[in-house]
Amino acid sequence: MKHSINSNLAAYFPVLTIIILLSVLKPLTAQNRVTDKVYLKNGTIVYGRIVQNDSLRGIRINNDCGSYLIRFQEFDSLKFNVGENNFISQTKGYYNSTSLGLLFGKGVDGNLPYPSITSVTGYQFSKHWFTGIGVGFEYYQWGVLPLFVQADYFINTERFTPYFAIKAGYSFPLTKKKEGNYNTEKTFGGITVNPEIGFKIAMGDKNAFICSIGYQYQKLSYEQPGYDYFNGPNYSRRIYTNFNRISFRIGFVFR
């Protein structure tokens, strides 16, 4: 019964993923227009339309987030009509990235994908590099809790940018016993590695929508009991499984 519930959950997960993806991309595609670009000395990039350039007061720029007055001692350079959406690109600070995903690969239920939920909290060191520590939930033959470190490299600071990411860590079993013919099959965790490529679309002044695809490796094992008919005492053996999955994720970055 428990295994059937997990299978039903995985079957509905692709539908939920598609609904979320469509609801996010529709408003994003309606926001494109030509804008200006202001580079600040602290590393921040402000996108919008420059409506005032006063040698005494500074530069005023309007965008979807409001109207900003930037004094001359604060900005480094300007670029006009760069063709990006209106938003402020933050280049340093803390962030959280939460995503829903599917893991595709052949398993005990055939090619049925299983869910993956991850949340990463970290720090953005520059306009390109994000690093953080993450935790989540994933299901293979049993549920696991992955604990990992993740690094992301964003190609540029535009509203739409491709990026590369890699995470590595260890997954802990959430059930002590494996579902199978033996009631005493003890489960163990294992290492996990997940390189991905994807894209980011900025939403407003700080947040963003992300979508990625990649390869995920997960090593798990369980202990199977047995009986030695010749020597008498019971024994057990450790059985290892290497899971190779294609990962697909959508999520949001909050800052």
Q: Are 161 and 172 in contact (CB under 8 A)?
A: no
pLDDT: which is higher, 84 or 234: 234
According to CATH, the topology of domain 92-254 is: Porin (2.40.160)
Taking residues 72-100, report their average pLDDT.
70
pLDDT tens, position by position, 116-150: 999 999 998 887 889 999 999 999 888 999 999 99
**Distance, CA of 73 to CA of 71 (rounded, Å):** 6
Is 232 a residue whose pLDDT tops 60?
Answer: no
For 36-84, give the CATH class. mainly beta
Q: What angle do CA 130, 168, 15 make, to 5 degrees?
A: 85
Q: Are 190 and 145 in contact (CB under 8 A)?
A: no
Render pLDDT for 18-39 as a digit per residue (tens, 0 to 9): 555 555 444 444 444 447 778 8
- Distance in angstroms (rounded) separating the CA atoms of residues 179 and 188: 13
- For residue 170, count other CB atoms closer than 10 A to its CB: 14
**How open is the CA angle 168-190-139, to the nearest 5 degrees?**
90
Is a pLDDT exceeding 60 seen at residue 17?
no
- Predicted pLDDT at 243: 93
Q: Cβ contacts of residue 215 below 8 Å, gap of 6+?
A: 194, 195, 196, 244, 245, 246, 247
Count of other CB atoms within 10 angstroms of residue 179:
15
Contact 161, 199 (CB under 8 A): yes
pLDDT at 12: 54
Q: For the chain, what is the mean pLDDT?
A: 78
**Integer Cα distance of 14 and 112 in angstroms:** 10
0.75 cut: is pTM over it?
no
Could you tell me where in the chain the CATH 2.40.160.20 domains are found?
92-254
Domain with CATH 2.30.30 in the chain: 36-84
44-53, 157-166, 170-179, 231-240 — which one is most confidently predicted on average? 157-166
**83 or 214, which is more confident?**
214
Give the per-residue pLDDT at 2: 47
